Amino acid sequence: MNIDFLDRNHLGTSLMNFAQDLDLKFLDNKLPHGRGITFKSDTTGAMSAIDHFAVSESLYPSVCEVRVIDSGINLSDHCQLVIEIAIPVARKWANRKPPKQDHIS
């Protein structure tokens, strides 16, 4: 989503209400402090945090890391936003063999 939550306008309020209605949580608070800039314009010098991830309330505790990748050679004025999620696998499924697949010649 490309919106600056600090800019309290109609679009920002609508998005926050939409997320609340769907029990979504934004992951901005999981970014390292001072590492939330996702938009940079070299020509104007503008920078802001306008890209965000939102996940369901039930998935939120499984988010291990959120980070912004700014390699310095981005092809866009937006930096990549990455989330790492640890989803536990039930033991009964972890040891199961995949079903045999029939091949048609």
CA dist 78 and 40 (Å) reads: 6
pTM: 0.64
In sign, the C-alpha dihedral spanning 85, 86, 92, 98 is: positive
Q: Which DSSP state fits 44?
A: T
Looking at 2-104, list the stretches that DSSP marks H as alpha helix, in order from N- to C-terminal side: 10-21, 91-94
Give the chain's mean pLDDT. Answer: 79
Is residue 82's pLDDT more than 80? Answer: yes
User: Phi-psi bin for 17: left (phi > 0), alpha (psi -120 to 50), beta?
Assistant: alpha
Q: What is the DSSP string of 28-41?
A: GGGSPTT----EE-
Q: What is the pLDDT of residue 16?
A: 84
